[in-house]
Structure 1
Amino acid sequence: MTIFSKARVCRLDLWINPVFDELISDKSQLTLQVLSRNADDSATANALAEAHAYHVSAAKDELPKRWFVNAQLIQACPNLLCVSAGGAGYDTVDVQACTEAGIAVVNQAGANANSVAEHTFALLLAVVKRIVESDNKLHHETGFSREDLMGDEIFGGTIGLIGLGAIGTCTARISKGFGLEVLAYDPLLSEDQIRSRGAEPVTLETLLQRSDYVSLHCPLLTQTRHMMGVDQFAMMKPGSIFLSTARGGIHDEAALYSALKAGHLRGAGLDVWEEEPPRRDAPLLSLSNVVASYHTAGVSHGGRRNVARSSANQISLMLNGERPPHLLNPEVWERFLARRQSIFGDVE
C-alpha cells in the first residue's frame, strides 16, 4: 500500500539525532514539520491539529505538558493517526486515550538497549569500586591511603534483574561475562522464556533475598510505582547494592535513602529520578555511596541514533499501512487502518 497524498509528520524542536529528519525527508510521500516546544505557541497547536503522525519526546520533564499526548491534545488533532514515543518509555503518551481514538502508538523498545545495559554496569562498577569517591579525594584531599578507598570484586556474585525485556536481556548477557549468577523476576514472561534470555526465574522476594546487586529494568506503570519501597529494601541482603536505569518513581527515594543511611545497603547507582534533574539538595545526592547520573543511560550517540532511526522507520511503516514492530496497542490496528483509509485512500 502507498499513501495517496502527502502525510504530515510533526515533532518538536527538542534535540534528536539528525537521522530522524533525514529518513522522514527522504520519503517523497512524507512532509516533516519541526515545531516550537513553547507551550504558548499557537503555531505548534495549529500544526499538530493537521498532523497525521506525531513524534513525541518520552522525557516527561523536558516536554511541556501541553504537548503530552492526552485526551485533550487528541481531541484537538482529528487527523492524528499515529504517535511515536522517542524511547523505550512512553510516559508522555496516554496509550488508552489513543486506543479509544483509533491512534496507533509505538515506542522504540530495544533501540538503546545496549547503551542502557552498559550504563547499568558503569553504575555498578562505579559503586563497587568506589571510583567516584576516589576521584573526588584525589582532586580535593590529601593524607589518605589506597586502603581507605578499598572496593570489591563482583566475580562470583549474584545479580537480580527486575524486568527482562530488551534491556534486561542485554544486562543478563553482560552479567554472564563478569562471572555473575543471574536471577530475574518478570511476571510477563514464562519460566522458559526467562531461561532463554539468560537468567534463572525466581519470585521477587527470592530475588531480593539472594542478590548482591538488584537492578530495575521494568516500565513505570500504576502497578510498578514504588514497587521498591520500605519492605522491599529491608528484604534485600545486608550490604547489597541497588541500581536503576529504568524510570523514576519505581523505587521510593525516601525509602532507599533510609536503607542506605542506616547501612543496610552498601550503595546505589541511580540514573533515574522522580524529578529530573533531581534537586541539588535531594537527600540521596548527599550520600557518598550513591553514584548518580541524569537519565543518560540511553543518551549515547549510538543509542540516540538507533532510537531516531527506529522512530522514523516505524512512522513510515504505519503511514504506509504496514504494521510496525513495536506497536503498544495492537488492538487498535484494524481501526487505525480504517481511519487511514478514510483520510488517504490507497493506490496500488
Structure 2
Amino acid sequence: MCVSAGGAGYDTIDVDACTKAGIPVVNQAGANAHSVAEHTFALLLAVIKRVVESDRKLWTESGFKREDLMGDEIHGCTIGLVGIGEIGTRTAKIAVGFGLKVLAYDPNVSAEGIRARGAEPVNLDALLKQSDFVSLHCPLNAQNRHMIGAEQFKAMKPGSVFISTARGGIHDEVALYKALSSGRLRGAGLDVWEVEPPPHEAPLLSLSNVVATFHTAGVSHGGRRNVARSSAEQILMMIDGVRPPHLLNPEVWESFLKRREQILSVSTMF
C-alpha cells in the first residue's frame, strides 16, 4: 500500500499518520513545474499590462483612452521567489529570459544551491524590500501558514506586485486586501485561495488590480499528463521494490520492502 499525491503539494495528506502506519507517500514534484512557472508569468504580465482590466472595459464601456489602461514593463525589474524547488527553479529560468534580476529565499536550500538554480540568495526581509514582484513557490505547512501577512506586505516595496501559485493560506488574504486597497501594492495575481473556489463576495475579487484564477496553474493538459505519468511510474517502481525519487517519508522504506516480500512470498504459494 502507498499514497501518491496528485501533484507537488501534499498538504491534503497526513504524512505523519502514513509514516506511523508504515505507508510510503510520494508526490509528483516537478511533474507540472513548467505549467505552474508559466502560469506565474501569465498572472504577472496580466497584472502589469492590465490585460484583464482592458478586456473588461472593451466589452462593457466606451469613451476611454488607451492611456487610461497604461501598463508597464517588467524588463530590468527584480523578482523575489519565496521557495526555489522544482517550480521556483523553472520560474527563475523564465525570469532571466524576461531580463529580470532573480532573488530567492529558501531555508531548505544552501546559498550555493540557490545560486546554482539561477537566483541570488537573500533572507525573507531583504527579498520583500528589494523585489518589484514577490512570487510564492513553497508548500503549505503548519510553520508557514500566513507567513506573508500584514507585516510582510508592509515591508514590500511600494507599488510592487504579489503573486501566488503555491497554496492558499501561506498568505493572509485579509492583509493582502488591505495592502491592495490602500494602494500600498500595485496588484496581485492569485491562483490559490483559502477557500476554493473563493466566494463571489470575496473582498479580493472586488479589486480591479487583482487577477484571479481557480488553482489552475498546474492543471494544464500537459501538466496533468506529466503528473499522471509520474504517479504511475513511481507506483510501478515501488511494486518492483525500487525506491521512488519523490518519497516523502524515507524512514518507512525498509519496512515497506519487508512487507512487500511477505506479500510476494504468500502470493507465490497459490
Structure 2 gaps, min length 5:
none
For residues 220 and 2 of structure 2, the distance between their equivalents in structure 1, rounded to whole angstroms, comes to 26
> Which residue identity does 1:131 align to in structure 2?
V
- Aligned-pair distance for 1:342? 1.9
For residues 213 and 332 of structure 1, the distance between their equivalents in structure 2, rounded to whole angstroms, comes to 40
For residues 340 and 85 of structure 1, the distance between their equivalents in structure 2, rounded to whole angstroms, comes to 21
Matched, 1:238 2:153: no
* Correspondent of 1:331 among 217, 234, 251: 251
Residue matched to 2:197 = 277
Calculate the aligned-residue CA RMSD, in Å.
0.9
Residue matched to 1:292 = 212
Matched, 1:149 2:69: yes
Listed one character per residue, the Cα deviations across residues 6-36 of structure 1 (whole Å, up to 9, x for unaligned) are xxxxxxxxxxxxxxxxxxxxxxxxxxxxxxx
Contact 1:224 1:250 (C-alpha < 8 Å) held by counterparts: yes
* Correspondent of 2:57 among 121, 131, 137: 137
Contact 1:102 1:339 (C-alpha < 8 Å) held by counterparts: no
For residues 200 and 241 of structure 1, the distance between their equivalents in structure 2, rounded to whole angstroms, comes to 19
For residues 276 and 232 of structure 1, the distance between their equivalents in structure 2, rounded to whole angstroms, comes to 24
The size of the alignment, in residue pairs, is 267
Of 196-205 and 94-103, more deviation after overlay is shown by 94-103
Residue matched to 2:173 = 253
- Aligned-pair distance for 1:320? 1.5
Matched, 1:342 2:256: no
TM-score by length of 1: 0.76
Residue matched to 2:185 = 265
* Correspondent of 1:311 among 231, 238, 241: 231
- Aligned-pair distance for 1:177? 0.2
Matched, 1:164 2:79: no
- Aligned-pair distance for 1:224? 1.0
Matched, 1:122 2:34: no
* Correspondent of 2:126 among 206, 221, 224: 206
For residues 336 and 99 of structure 1, the distance between their equivalents in structure 2, rounded to whole angstroms, comes to 10
- Aligned-pair distance for 1:198? 0.1
Matched, 1:188 2:108: yes
For residues 112 and 25 of structure 2, the distance between their equivalents in structure 1, rounded to whole angstroms, comes to 29
For residues 92 and 214 of structure 1, the distance between their equivalents in structure 2, rounded to whole angstroms, comes to 25
> Which residue identity does 1:245 align to in structure 2?
T
Listed one character per residue, the Cα deviations across residues 245-299 of structure 1 (whole Å, up to 9, x for unaligned) are 0000000000000000110000000000001000000000000000000000000
Pick the structure with greater CA Rg: 1
Contact 1:86 1:108 (C-alpha < 8 Å) held by counterparts: yes
For residues 145 and 223 of structure 2, the distance between their equivalents in structure 1, rounded to whole angstroms, comes to 26
For residues 253 and 152 of structure 2, the distance between their equivalents in structure 1, rounded to whole angstroms, comes to 39
- Aligned-pair distance for 1:344? 2.2
TM-score by length of 2: 0.98
For residues 126 and 303 of structure 1, the distance between their equivalents in structure 2, rounded to whole angstroms, comes to 21
Contact 1:272 1:295 (C-alpha < 8 Å) held by counterparts: yes
Q: Percent identity?
A: 74
- Aligned-pair distance for 1:92? 2.1
- Aligned-pair distance for 1:165? 0.2
- Aligned-pair distance for 1:343? 2.0
- Aligned-pair distance for 1:91? 2.2
What secondary structure is seen at the aligned counterpart in 2 of 1:265? Answer: coil
Structure 1 gaps, min length 5:
1-80
For residues 94 and 115 of structure 1, the distance between their equivalents in structure 2, rounded to whole angstroms, comes to 26
Aligned residue runs from structure 1 range 11-22, under 5 A: none
Listed one character per residue, the Cα deviations across residues 275-327 of structure 1 (whole Å, up to 9, x for unaligned) are 10000000000000000000000000100000000001101111111100100
For residues 38 and 250 of structure 2, the distance between their equivalents in structure 1, rounded to whole angstroms, comes to 31
Moved over 6 A (4+): none
Contact 1:111 1:306 (C-alpha < 8 Å) held by counterparts: yes
Matched, 1:105 2:22: no
For residues 107 and 96 of structure 1, the distance between their equivalents in structure 2, rounded to whole angstroms, comes to 15
For residues 101 and 328 of structure 1, the distance between their equivalents in structure 2, rounded to whole angstroms, comes to 14
Residue matched to 1:84 = 4
For residues 60 and 49 of structure 2, the distance between their equivalents in structure 1, rounded to whole angstroms, comes to 19
